Amino acid sequence: MTESTVDTIAPSVEATGAVSPRKVFWATWFGWMLDGFDSSMYAYILVAALSELLPASGIEASKANIGIYGGFLFSIFMLGWACSMVWGWAADRYGRVKIMCWTVLVYSVFTALCGLATGIVMFALFRFVAGFGIGGEWAAGTPLLQESVPENTRVRLAGWLHTATPTGLFLAAAVTLAVGSTLGWRGMFLIGILPALLIAYLRSNIPEPAHSASRERPSVKALFAGDQARTTWAAALMMACIIFGLWSSNFWAPTVIATKLVAAGATPAHAQEMGAVAGLITNVGTLIGCFLVPSITGWLGSRRRTAVLFFIGGLISVVVSYEVAIEWLNSLTLFMVLLPVLGFFTNGVFGLFTIWLPEMFPSALRGTGSGFAFSMGRVLGAAGPTLIGALAARTGSFPLAISMLSLIYVIGLPLIALAPETAGKPLAK
């Protein structure tokens, strides 16, 4: 569906000497897909990795410690993402394609280095830098796509772009199922070097978008002046809510299942496999959400109304999946059935923001503004996984802790009204 749509618009653009939208879409899509693969492997091999690294660092690999340090390492990774706001500034000044290549190189190399870590501190450092690289690709890749394709297909392609991330998560789960027990957690991280192969293609096939070729370069201070300041902070705080919500719910599903199965007497290998199955199921819902986001925004005729739908859906799906299915009913079967709904709302919402966020900023500030909003959102959202680990250790229940923190979506609802409504408007020059 996506390929045929992109192919139909390619000839007219190529005839003008511009790059084919098909090439830009798929180059950006594969970059995102591979960073989704690299970033999500940790969720599937968390228990195995920490079971080795904690004792190597003189720490008992107990259930409580795995929860605490697992959450802490999630947050370290997200703080690396948060520091990546510099990539957006660089993309505005030195080029979308050039900076995207650098982000791919950084996250590939440091994901692979995680597989060589000998202790928890070294592992945390490598996770931090890998997050720094992965976070930068959003700030460079999203403006690259939006500025390189025709206006009549921009919203659709921007929305579909986020299907790359759940595809990467899906691939990570599939690889874990297929060869995870053979490669071990170290081997899984080492194959994270593969995205670096994308760099040669990007450099040789994708030019800088003409839309951003010649423009003024205003100071970063312009993000926080006049009406733009309200937009910048509204975008950042909304991103904080959905990042907090995602990393405090969706990505804990494999760990919740693995720990529950191990406690019931299952082998660690079987528990890891079932965690990977949970990831596959969840990402089916995410993919459906991302495919439907452009249609939903068109049907509702409003970016704001679409955001409200996903925020409320995120809250309900988290509470029903974790508190009702796991905590009250103790039903892993029902939990697995609900996972696609969880993925649809908590992760599918990012498809909306690949459309909406770049529309909030003028071209000269698009990378900087998008990068700041996404990265500042990660700074605030990074507290989520650590709080989950701490609350789970205190209450003895991951599902209860996750359900408590899903209230972040309620906090986010008033922020939606502060963001500009951009539906029906062309991308700002």
- DSSP character for 220? G
**Cβ atoms 97, 208 nearer than 8 A:** yes
Residue of 419, 311, 309, 297 whose CA lies nearest to 355: 297
Query: Whole-angstrom Cα distance, residue 314 to residue 347?
Result: 9
**Cβ atoms 79, 132 nearer than 8 A:** no
Query: Whole-angstrom Cα distance, residue 13 to residue 167?
Result: 28
Per-residue CA distances from 222 to 41, 104, 127, 366 (Å): 38, 28, 32, 12
Query: Whole-angstrom Cα distance, residue 352 to residue 412?
Result: 15
CB neighbour burial string for 382-406, b if at least 16 within 10 angstroms, e if fewer = bbbbbbbbbbbbeeebbbbbbbbbb
Give the three-class secondary structure for 162: coil
Both structure tokens of 263:
């406690």
From its phi and psi, is residue 184 left (phi > 0), alpha (psi between -120 and 50) or beta? Answer: left
Query: Whole-angstrom Cα distance, residue 358 to residue 427?
Result: 8
| CA end-to-end span of the chain | 29
Both structure tokens of 87:
């990539």
Residue of 100, 103, 110 whose CA lies nearest to 130: 110
Query: Whole-angstrom Cα distance, residue 261 to residue 119?
Result: 27
Query: Whole-angstrom Cα distance, residue 133 to residue 109?
Result: 9
Residue of 408, 345, 339, 423 whose CA lies nearest to 377: 408
The 10 Å Cβ neighbour count of residue 64 is: 14
Given this model, what pLDDT does residue 1 score? 38
CA 271 to chain centre: 24
CA 429 to chain centre: 27
- Show pLDDT as tens, one digit a residue, over the chain (429 residues): 333 333 333 333 333 345 677 888 888 888 888 877 877 788 778 888 999 999 999 999 887 888 889 878 877 887 887 787 888 888 888 888 888 889 989 988 999 999 999 999 999 999 999 989 988 877 888 888 888 888 888 888 988 988 888 788 778 878 887 888 888 899 999 988 888 887 877 777 788 776 554 456 667 888 998 889 999 999 999 999 998 999 888 878 888 888 888 888 888 778 878 887 887 888 889 899 999 999 999 999 999 999 999 999 999 999 999 999 999 998 999 999 999 999 999 999 999 999 999 999 988 888 889 888 888 877 777 677 778 878 888 888 888 999 999 999 999 999 999 999 999 888 877
Domains of the chain: 19-209 (1.20.1250.20), 226-428 (1.20.1250.20)
The dihedral sign for the CA sequence 39, 364, 201, 116: negative
Given this model, what pLDDT does residue 421 score? 96
The dihedral sign for the CA sequence 204, 209, 214, 216: negative
- For 202, half-sphere exposure in the C-beta direction (CA atoms, 13 angstrom radius) is 30
Helices (H) and strands (E) in the chain, counts: 19, 0
